[in-house]
Amino acid sequence: MSITFKAEPSDKLTGQIRVPGDKSISHRSIMLGSIAEGVTEVTGFLQGEDSLATLEAFRSLGVKIEGPDKGQVRIHGVGMHGLRAANQPLDVGNSGTSMRLLAGLLAGQSFTTELVGDASLSKRPMRRVTDPLAEMGAVIHTSEAGTAPLTIEGGQSLCAIQYTLPVASAQVKSCLLLAGLYARGQTCVTEPAPTRDHTERMLQGFGYPVKRKNATVCLQGGGKLTATALDVPADISSAAFFMVGASIASGSDLVLEHVGMNPTRIGVINILRQMGADITLSNETTVSGEPVADLRIKSAPLHGIRIPEDQVPLAIDEFPVLFVAAACAQGQTVLTGARELRVKESDRIQVMADGLAALGITAQPTEDGMLIEGGQMSGGQVNSHGDHRIAMAFAIASLRANGAILIDDCANVNTSFPGFVDLACACGLNLSVQ
Ligand code: S3P
């Protein structure tokens, strides 16, 4: 179903809110809970389409999962070798994380599985996981273009590898670590730059030893996971929309509760602070091995910056809304080293440049980034191309536009942020569904 958002001008964001649970951690809670021994209790689980696709996939693989009910899930783990063949292909919809991580986990099973996805996911590159998995001995068929559907042949015996990632990707790293659980020997993955480490942290929470030395993370195959309790923090990637919104809308004062502050995810805070944002942390603590805090954001004048390339993997999902921040900043913002944005749920460089241009902003896409001149945004019509984060980024832009913004193709906001429209309106956005 096609959904259009109408975002009309509004002035400020205020109040105290909690955005939904972290998507990356929610996926991993189902995956690891399913292959653990015992019952894993999850709270704060993201009831969005992506993480629900993972949950349904594991039900199809024979795992009893109760919930989700207000973020609570009970997973009756079947142990490392207890998954059963699904009787139909597993459809993971729009979710790249489900497909890439499942590819690794399923490569070591005794049965064959087919993974399918929607039109967007079926265009995204999968050789980045199938090539190294093949080196481990997996047999996976893709389309000729190296895309889904993926058929993962069962009954292969996997061998550990030492692999250096050609791109900084937590999905590829996690895929190989999950395959490594089923491989003979020690699997080691070296990353060119730090990427989110939720898999490593959560494996340790399930009692599975993981060693890190500098940029290399290793685990020994053949161990077991023991069920645990997991509290999923609010997703910093969802919080990011409100961090930018409160920064750009004068008079704003907004508190975001219990947000995940994993150091491999806080690029958005580092970048916004460099641009002049006023963000303070309180109630800092650790839940289920992940740091969390409450964030208070007050509006502040932003200025353009050259975004440090080392922050790119740490803010990889936040660029759509960071481009909106740049459009509202004084001067020029330059992003380089972010070619990966072209293979996300949409080509986020081109789609954002087109949308910003439609709102009167000078935005020059480059092969691996963007140049944006801050200026006055007008109203206009933009297309999210079915990309949840593009849709929400343009909704936030309405805080500084001088006319209504119509945003087409917004249904996929539900993949990561169910309830976005209501929550955004509750703190001051003037947003409706057409
Ligand atoms: C994710 C990793 C990132 C991110 C995605 C979720 C994960 O992808 O963009 O939304 O949960 O591991 P890459 O690791 O491919 O950059």
Q: Residue 137 above 90 pLDDT?
A: yes
Q: What is the mean pLDDT of residues 346-360?
A: 98
Contact indicator for 267, 314 with CB cutoff of 8 Å: yes
- Quickly state the pLDDT bin for 123 (edges 50, 70, 90): very high
Q: Which atom of ligand 1 is nearest to the CA of 317?
A: 9
Q: What is the mean pLDDT of residues 86-113?
A: 98
Cα 101 to middle of ligand 1, angstroms: 10
Nearest residue to 186 via CA among 208, 158, 214, 161: 161
Domain boundary among 198, 231, 264: 231
Cα 97 to middle of ligand 1, angstroms: 6
pLDDT score at 280 = 98
Beta strands 290-298 and 278-287 are antiparallel
pLDDT score at 39 = 99
Q: Residue 21 above 80 pLDDT?
A: yes
Residues 106, 194 within the same domain? yes
317 is catalytic: yes
Query: Ligand 1, from 120, 316, 368: best to mutate by most atoms within 8 Å of Cβ?
Result: 316
Q: What is the mean pLDDT of residues 87-100?
A: 98
Angle at the Cα of 395 (from 232 to 241), degrees rounded to 5? 35
With a 6 Å cutoff on the Cβ, whether 169 touches ligand 1 is yes
Cα 378 to middle of ligand 1, angstroms: 32
Beta strand ranges found along 127-263 (DSSP E): 140-141, 150-152, 158-159, 162-164, 183-184, 186-190, 211-213, 216-220, 225-226, 229-231, 253-260
Contact indicator for 412, 388 with CB cutoff of 8 Å: yes
pLDDT score at 282 = 98
pLDDT per position as a tens digit, 191-220: 999 999 999 999 999 999 999 999 999 999
CB within 8 Å of 381: residues ≥ 6 apart: 358, 405, 406, 407, 408
Residues 153, 289 within the same domain? no
Residues 207, 289 within the same domain? no
- Report the CATH number that the domain containing residue 176 is assigned in CATH: 3.65.10.10
Q: Which atom of ligand 1 is nearest to the CA of 195?
A: 14
Per the structure, how many domains does the chain have?
Answer: 2
Provide the CA 106 distance to its chain's centre, in angstroms: 21
Cα 404 to middle of ligand 1, angstroms: 32
With a 6 Å cutoff on the Cβ, whether 196 touches ligand 1 is yes
With a 6 Å cutoff on the Cβ, whether 265 touches ligand 1 is no
With a 6 Å cutoff on the Cβ, whether 316 touches ligand 1 is yes
Active-site option among 91, 118, 197, 317: 317
Distance between CA atoms of residues 381 and 5, nearest Å: 10
Residues 220, 358 within the same domain? no
Q: What is the SS3 assignment for 87?
A: coil
Q: What is the mean pLDDT of residues 221-228?
A: 98
Q: What is the mean pLDDT of residues 21-31?
A: 99
Q: Residue 1 above 90 pLDDT?
A: no
Domain boundary among 179, 208, 231: 231
Q: Which atom of ligand 1 is nearest to the CA of 174?
A: 12
Residues 205, 248 within the same domain? no
Residue ranges making up the domain that contains 321: 5-21+233-433
Cα 314 to middle of ligand 1, angstroms: 10
Ligand 1 atom 4: residue of nearest CA: 317
**How many other CB atoms sit within 10 Å of the CB of residue 292?**
24
For 58-73, the DSSP string reads HHHTT-EEEEEETTEE
Among all chains, which residue has been given the structure tokens 């047999």?
139
Domain boundary among 177, 205, 231: 231
- Quickly state the pLDDT bin for 269 (edges 50, 70, 90): very high
Query: Ligand 1, from 25, 171, 236, 312: best to mutate by most atoms within 8 Å of Cβ?
Result: 171
Contact indicator for 129, 100 with CB cutoff of 8 Å: yes
pLDDT score at 113 = 98
Residues 138, 179 within the same domain? yes
Residues 76, 182 within the same domain? yes
Cα 376 to middle of ligand 1, angstroms: 32
**End-to-end Cα, the chain, rounded Å:** 12
**In whole numbers, what is the pLDDT of the chain averaged over residues?**
98
* Structure-token pair, residue 407: 């945003």
